[in-house]
Amino acid sequence: MLIFKILRRPEWDAFRAAGQTAGAPVDLADGFIHFSTSTQVVETAARHFATEANLVLVAVEADRLGPALWWEPSRGGQLFPHLYRPLGLDEVIWDKSLPLGATGHIFPEGVI
């Protein structure tokens, strides 16, 4: 199962340069990297990145993350994937731009 992380372009660039990331500022503050499933990612983008255009959507295979990936309740009691360790660049399956359209972010085909 693929899970998704939305990063701002400078966060993605820093991740690529370093080969790993502990996440965005919100992740650092919370102590884990926030991910969303395909059914959650649209709302995540709308809630937390509503006006941001220069985003990158990163896909990761949940099964490859091991025991540091926890599924914990969040919005409305839904279980969200949270990673309690840095994410390695080698764990990223793909990355795609997440442009902002007139009615919200435009997700790559097949994600939602």
Residue 110 lies in a domain: no
Largest CA distance in the chain: 39
41: nearest Cα among 110, 101, 108, 112 = 112
- For residue 80 the two structure tokens come to 């969200």
pTM for the full predicted model: 0.95
Provide the b/e sequence for 89-108 (b: ≥16 CB within 10 Å).
Answer: eeebeebeebebeeeebebe
* 110: pLDDT strictly greater than 90: no
Q: How far apart are CA 26 and CA 33, in angstroms?
A: 8
What are the angstrom distances between the C-alpha of 73 and each of 24, 58, 70?
20, 22, 10
Residue 112 lies in a domain: no
Residue 111 lies in a domain: no
Domain housing 97: 2-105
Residue 6 lies in a domain: yes
Residue 51 lies in a domain: yes
CATH number where 89 lies: 3.20.170.20
Task: Count up the domains in the chain and report the number.
Answer: 1
Q: Label residue 76 by pLDDT band (50, 70, 90).
A: confident
pLDDT score at 75? 80
For residue 101, report the phi and psi dihedrals to the nearest 5 degrees. -100, -175
For residue 46, report the phi and psi dihedrals to the nearest 5 degrees. -65, -40
Residue 52 lies in a domain: yes
